Amino acid sequence: MTATMTAPPIEKVAPNLVTRVKDGDLKAGQMAMLGLGIALLAIAFATGLGGDKEHQGRFWFSYLTGYMGVLGITLGALFFTMVQHITRAGWSVGVRRVAENVAAAIPVMALLFLPIALVGFDHLYHHWAHANVNPETHAAILPGQPGYDHVLAGKSGYLNKQFFFIRAGIYFAIWISLSLFFRRNSLKQDETGDGALSLKMARLAAPGLLLFALSITFAAFDWIMSLDPHWFSTMFGICYFAGGFMSFLAFTALLARWIRSKGYLGEVINTEHFHDIGKLMFAFMVFWTYVNFSQYMLIWYANLPEETVWFEHRRHDGWSSVGTILVFGHFLVPFVFLMSRHIKRNGFTLSLGAVFLLVIHWIDMQYLILPQAGHGHGAAHATEAVEISNAGHPPFSHDLNLWLHNIQPNDALCYFGMLCLVAGIAILFVRKNNLVPLRDPRLSETLHFQNI
């Protein structure tokens, strides 16, 4: 269908298709998810902000862990939406509307960033925000004086509080603008059937993906990698994106399965579509493994203290066991489990794999963020890591027990609280608008889609 043609009414394409949720349907699920999400976050804040400064500091690392894990899911929804438009994919028209509803939670994620900006910032990023400043006298430490950090001095043009918040505003402006543009034009097409809107969205998806790639990469640099400002990896952004998009696919599989169980989306998201969601979930699980191994291999091969320090700290305090868990849980186990087409075409087994990957994604965020809560960030940071590397390494069972002992309830409360909140928001938009893009030119293709 050309861009100048008007798509036919849904009555001609699929006369028996249920296009909207009945009044009152799905409301219980929506309220349950929203209520549970708010309750979990309220408990986390109530327990995390009490006590001394050290206890509060640890809470903000828990909050950042949950936040970055769930933010990756909402950004994965935006990426999925743009990719379907730029490729003009037909199989995913129904799934794309679900992704639009998940991406609609990005403004809420912007609001959830405010506690980090207003309260948690100095707990998380104090080591570079107040670099080369005496904490007692607040006087500047000059070059040559004890405590002067020449690395942070060289990065001060980028790592400073004002520029940090300017960049954060730019990231959210990009993400919110893109999510609103694609959602509004998709809903507009439901009313007008204007095929030109599909072409318009496909054209904007190209620069949109470029802006998305740059913004998510630098957001990962700013909000996670700068926790250890002496360490750097140009691959870090793509590692974060890969895990987030994989988790979005897992989240979407579960959400779509639940909506189907309530009697909706049966014709537009069926076994064939779940099979493709499962294939993408499998592919990006492997892609996550590839980019993370590439990052590790290059740093191991170069063997430079300023690069190896990040992994060295993850050999201690129980984090070595988490690295082993990620090797098996984020790659080997799901690789074997999801390889079979029968697993991906079975609703129960696909859902089981999706739940597993969402949990392992949370563990991955812990591995990226939480070790920095227990290590220094001063000028002697790299030297300290080289010294501790000479110590013997305890067995896996010891490390596992140490990790489990150090994990706090707030680590789970923040992640699953935000996950429930995003699910509730997505269900809210499912209830408010059409379930599928009713007059998308490719709707007929998705209704008759057959997987290979």
| pLDDT tens-digit series, residues 220-250 | 999 999 999 999 999 999 999 999 999 999 9
pLDDT attached to residue 330: 97
From the list 411, 416, 376, the residue with the least C-alpha distance to 48 is 411
pLDDT attached to residue 130: 87
What does the angle CA 305 – CA 295 – CA 358 come to, to the nearest 5 degrees?
Answer: 120
Contacts of 142 (CB under 8 A, 6+ apart): 148
The answer to whether position 152 is within a domain reads no
The answer to whether position 55 is within a domain reads yes
Task: Please identify every stretch of the chain with a pLDDT value under 50, giving residue numbers as ranges.
Answer: 1-3, 376-390
The two tokens of residue 91 are 């199989």
> Containing domain of residue 227, as a range?
21-133+162-447
Give dist(CA 136, CA 129) in Å, integer.
15
Count of domains for the chain = 1
The two tokens of residue 286 are 């492997």
pLDDT attached to residue 53: 85
pLDDT attached to residue 392: 59
| One-letter amino acid of 9 | P
Residue recorded with tokens 């520029």: 163
Contacts of 321 (CB under 8 A, 6+ apart): 396, 399, 400, 402, 403
133 beta partners: 140
pLDDT tens across 359-413, in order? 999 999 999 999 998 754 444 444 444 444 445 568 899 999 999 998 999 999 9
CB 343 within 8 A of CB 350: yes
pLDDT attached to residue 11: 81
CB 275 within 8 A of CB 451: yes
